[in-house]
Structure 1
Amino acid sequence: MTCEMRVRNYSEKTIERYISVIARLSKHFNLSPGLITTSQLKDYAYFLIHEQQVSVSTINQLISAWKILQVDVLGNAWENFRLKRPRREKKIPVVLSQAEAAALINAPRNFKHRAILCLAYVSGLRLSEVLSLKLADIDSGRKLIRVIRGKGNKSREVNIPDQLIAQLREYYRYYRPKLFLFESLAPGKPYSATSFRNIISRAAVKAGIKKNLSPHVLRHSFATHMLERGLNLKRLQLMLGHNSLKTTSIYLHLANPDLSNLPNLLDNPTQ
């Protein structure tokens, strides 16, 4: 299964996740994955939802891994093993106001902490993408970040402002990272997701923000604020690395548009 996924150019993180999903399924029934029936898979999914209370995303990962196993590895027809995907909950993302975002990224006294919060906010990168950034991924001459093998194993380029470039230069002069842009105490090792989450939690308290914040809130806020400042939806889709414009369009409902210059439909109507 690992070989098949690598041939199809899945990212290593996705491969690791899907293999782990199938391994847990196999352990649950104490059976080889190839001997597990669709009925047993449904029972396992029911167990995960009602006993383990896992998310819809986890169940979708299980179904995706199951499909690769049955169709690509075992050569079975998917119609004989298909399992319907659950409906996703339509949750409204938590978003900061522009004033709250500014307060948050300026709250830490530690310069490294301010730099990582600022980069996450003004680039809209995912948590894993921020932590995977290497020094070579910052192109200050072209004022952009290269996201190499992001979600779905796709790469893209994201523009960044002059203020962030200047901040990163100052950060580099002080911290001198070896490989990754943000490193742990061990040189050459990436910063941890737990440490990033702790930075956000402490910054929120210091900034007086009561909302439940996570690293992904910075991405939601980036997208919403870009729309509020006039960026078109298609360009935002490319910056976020979304496959579908429909995914990006959720931010249209979160943005507060400028209503001061709305056209008056009763003023000089045309024939």
Structure 2
Amino acid sequence: MAKVSVTEGHHQGKKVYLIEFRYNHELIQQVKSIGCIWSKSRGKWYLNFNKENEQLLKNLFPSEIKRLNAAKQTKTKLTSDDFDKETLKIIHAYVKYLRGKLYSESTVKSYYNHILEFLYYTKGRPIETLSNRDVELFVEDVYLSRKYSASTHRQVISAIRHFKNLYSDCLIDNVALDSPEKSRFLPSVLAKEEVLRLLQVTQNLKHRAILALLYSAGLRIGELINLKLSHIDISRRQLIVKSGKGRKDRYVILANSFLPLLNNYLFSYKPEIYFVEGTKAGEPYTAGSIRNFLRKSCKKAGIRKLVTPHTLRHSYATHLLENGVDIRYIQVLLGHSRPETTMVYTHVAKRDMLAIESPLDTMVKTFMETDNGDKKLTISRDLNL
């Protein structure tokens, strides 16, 4: 039998199945028998998109419908062509609603992508028929199969809750929607010697200034990219982070040792608006570029840990704590809303942890101090006990 391709698309403003194959008299008779219509403009046969027609196609071309349904669950690059006009109106209204709530553009983009995939998964069904079971199936079939993290799962549920708030006619019950427990991973942190080595091997002046500021001020990568020259006050040795996470402003101290590097960088590169700019003057630098040269610098420095720009922020907070800075001040410097967020650094700081003696050390020391004890006892040789 000739090769058949079944895809989803739109024809004359309606969502349809598009059936394509080389001329074959037998196949033509089969598709005609289930109501398919020839489109001269598309050069394909088409059938209106609904459950009944899906079953008819499944009976004729089972392997193609199976492939199509599997592709629906894994497709990650969605475009406007994947939706009809009514669904696109719903999506645009949702984005407008989120912006009206003054969410950051990164949050709007994340929620938009989640809802895009949810509506694609529900196959164009009327939104008033969508229920909590549809959300559960969406997570099970799409997100679990991609092995996304618990934090992404929580973000999906949050996006759908906002969708329900906007479209109250749908059957989704926000109260009954379950979010997974937030993962409690300890942050990856560089040793102080590793930070210095990282800066030393970064020869490019702009790149070194970026890494030094990320670490010395504990900035998020988005905060550094959006940092304007007008936000830096060298005379007062501070900068202001405008509209950080949670739309909060905060002041951050500039390190004395960073000021010569800062002046050298500003004199050499002469940025116009932002602290660091891209190839075009007045345009912000990209996060991808920072990640790329950071990865190369880590390789040169012989650092085998997985290091991201946020690792430098984690290292800044941990080193402050190890230097004896009160955790309440660290919370303010980092711009955390809740002290619980900052408390995670107490689990990785070495200052207090190193003061705790292992019971093995205590046992060896006690034995050495006894009259009959071996004054040179080590556990690296035969104990002969």
TM-score (ref. length: structure 1):
0.88
Deviations 1:217-271 (A, max 9, x none): 1011011001011111111111111121111101001111168999xxxxxxxxx
CA contact (8 A) 2:130 2:170 kept: no
Q: 2:122 aligns with which of 29, 38, 58?
A: 29
Give 5+ residue unaligned stretches, structure 1.
263-271
Deviations 1:143-196 (A, max 9, x none): 212111112222211111122233212101100112221111122222111211
Instruction: Tell me which residue corresponds to 2:304.
Output: 210
| 1:156 matches 2:250 | yes
| 1:243 matches 2:337 | yes
State the 1:48 CA deviation.
3.5
Size of the aligned set, in residue pairs, is 261
Output the CA distance in 1 between the equivalents of 2:192 and 2:296: 19
Instruction: Tell me which residue corresponds to 1:2.
Output: 95
Identity of aligned pairs, percent? 33
CA contact (8 A) 2:151 2:183 kept: no
| 1:69 matches 2:141 | no
Compared CA separation, residues 187 and 49, structure 1 to 2 (3 A): same
Output the CA distance in 2 between the equivalents of 1:45 and 1:259: 40
Query: Which structure shows the higher strand fraction?
Result: 2
State the 1:98 CA deviation.
0.8
TM-score (ref. length: structure 2):
0.63
Instruction: Tell me which residue corresponds to 1:16.
Output: 109
Instruction: Tell me which residue corresponds to 1:269.
Output: none
State the 1:76 CA deviation.
6.6
CA contact (8 A) 1:234 1:245 kept: yes
Compared CA separation, residues 161 and 7, structure 1 to 2 (3 A): same
Compared CA separation, residues 102 and 80, structure 1 to 2 (3 A): same
SS in 2 for 1:153: coil
SS in 2 for 1:145: strand
Deviations 1:85-144 (A, max 9, x none): 112332222111111111112211111111000000011111111111111121212221
SS in 2 for 1:257: helix
CA RMSD of aligned residues (A): 2.2
Instruction: Tell me which residue corresponds to 1:195.
Output: 289
Aligned-partner residue type, residue 111 of structure 1: L
Output the CA distance in 2 between the equivalents of 1:52 and 1:157: 40
SS in 1 for 2:350: coil
